[in-house]
Structure formats: structure tokens, C-alpha cells
Structure 1
Amino acid sequence: MRNYLDSVVVSVERIDDLPKDFYLSNNYPNPFNPSTRINYSLSKSVNVSLKVYDVLGREVRTLVQGAQNPGSYTVIFDASDLSSGIYFYRLEAGNFSETKQMLLMK
């Protein structure tokens, strides 16, 4: 009787698909109602903060807070409890920080 594992061919190839830089993408869709996706990439392990602010600079939501490993991430922002308007989202990761705007239309 032949062992099943003897007939399995396995090939392992290293793929260097970890991000080389920190990156915050535009949310999609934009404008949105009531939810949108925010994608970002980390090139190394760092403490990450992703927050949403209103036009007056008041924090309305913390989406991510804490240490994360290198890689690409997606966060769904549900704004069903917020009013229509312009909002800003800010990613802070180590020495990297970037802010982008989004439009909620109800």
C-alpha cells in the first residue's frame, strides 16, 4: 500500500509581498453611505492609531489603536450614526502620519 504523503508534490516559493513603505489609501467608496473601506499598509511592526475627526477637529471614532505587524490592512468605517458631511481620517504609525478626507452623504 502506497502512503498518500509520498505522492504529494509540494513546492514552496518565497514571496516578498510585504509593503516596503507606510501607506494610507483613499477610502472607497467616497462619497459613502453608511460605510466605507479604509486601506493602509505597514512596512514594520509599530503602534498604530487610525482615527476619524469631524470638520471641527473633534475625534468621532477610533478605528484602530495598538501594535500591528507589517502587512496590508482594511478597516470598515460604519458612519450610520453620524450626520452627513466631511470627515477626516488620520493614520499614525511610528514616525509616519497622514490625513485624508471623506464625504458622508445620507
Structure 2
Amino acid sequence: MGVSNGLVLYNHNLQLPVEITSFTASQTGSTLQLKWSTATETNNHGFEIERSTDNNPFYSIGFVKGAGSTQEPQEYIYTDSPDKPGTYHYRLKQTDLDGSYKYSDVVTSEFTGNIQEYILEQNFPNPFNPTTRIKFSIPQQNGNKPQLVTLTVYDILGNEIAVLVNEEKPSGTYEVDFTANNASLSAGVYVYRLRAGAFSETKTMILLK
């Protein structure tokens, strides 16, 4: 799945920057949810959300007011409702109180519309060392009531290695990284299993060292 770690947007007057520590976009039910957070803010008027599709120019779809000046971490959420499936690109136009502005990095998300079935995708990259990403989709059920979802990694003998997800999630497409940073993990085949409601599916992945 895209994250802007440590992205710093500098004000023209050289005061402390607006520091964006994360920026993600992911499908939740029939919407795309944008989340971003800041470590510090100085004279931050807010964030204009811009969207692009199919290599077209970015255009504004909304605005979220900033916290002004603060040394406390802040979290923001914006929900977009695309009218058709496709690949959507987003960026933030962070604007200061004096009107100066800077753009964030671009994040991208696939929008599939209403998800009709459970999907567990093959991890990528595969083989991997040390990190790989697993993508899965949860369909809408019972009015999009959240379902308990678990995603677990096992060794080839069935011993549990890591629990990547263990929480209730609404319909949507999700991505999670698995990093084999445990020195005791040897190269070889590992298994990951997705469980949600009555659904269960297992795939294998290969760790190289």
C-alpha cells in the first residue's frame, strides 16, 4: 500500500515547521479514508485536500482546519467518496496563516467500490528480506458492522510467529507489513492466515537471508 515519514513542510519565515509524520489513504467500506498526523505546527491555517486520477491534474476536494501553533501531536481524518472504482492519488496543501503553502508527498489508493467478497492477496515482495506487505479485503456485512479480523503468521510447523491484525474492522481493503527482524527466524517458507467471521484462508511466503 503510501506513507510520508518525517516529511517537513517549512514556513517561509523560518519558524518551526509543520511536521507531517504520517499520511495514508485506504478504502473503508464504500469510501476512501485519508489519515495524517503532525508532530508540531506553527501558524498552520489548515490542509486543503487535493485529488487526481488517471494522470489528470490535482484539484481540491475539501479542507480541514489546522491547529494553529502547537507542540502537541495532532491527528486528522478526511473521508472521500469516489463515484467509481479506480486508482486515486491524494496530496495535502498545507497553508500557513499568512497564505504561504507547501505540498505533501502524494499517496495512492485503489478504490474497488463495494467489496463483495473476502480477499487475501499474495504478499509482495515474495521472496522477501526482511519486510513484505500483505493486502486483504473485508466485504460489507450486516450494514457494515465491524467484524473481528485476525491475520497471523506461522512457521511451516504451525508455530505462531506474529499476530499482525487482531481487531474489529469494517468493510475495506487493508495493508499490513511483516518484518522478519527476529534473529531466530531462519530462511524458509512461512504461512499467513486471514480469519474473519466464517472465512479463513492461508497463503505461503518465502523469507530469504
Q: What does the per-residue CA deviation read over 1:52-77, in whole Å, with 9 as the maximum and x for residues that have no partner? A: 00011000100000100100000000
- Runs of 5+ unmatched residues, structure 1: 1-9
Identity of aligned residues (%): 46
Q: What is the CA–CA distance in structure 1 between the aligned matches of 2:147 and 2:122, rounded to whole Å?
A: 21
Q: CA RMSD for the aligned pairs?
A: 1.7
Q: Which has the larger strand fraction?
A: 2
1:68 maps to: 169
Q: TM-score, normalised on structure 2?
A: 0.44
Moved >2 Å (runs of 4+): 12-16
Q: What is the CA–CA distance in structure 2 between the aligned matches of 1:26 and 1:59, rounded to whole Å?
A: 19
Greater RCO, 1 or 2 (C-alpha within 8 Å, sep 6+): 1
Equivalent of residue 89 in structure 1, options 192, 195, 200: 192
Query: Does 1:56 find its partner at 2:157?
Result: yes
Give the 3-state SS of the residue equivalent to 2:190 in structure 1: strand
Q: TM-score, normalised on structure 1?
A: 0.84
1:33, 1:80 within 8 Å by CA — same for their partners in 2? no
For residue 18 of structure 1, report the CA deviation from its aligned partner: 2.8
- Runs of 5+ unmatched residues, structure 2: 1-60, 62-80, 86-112, 141-145
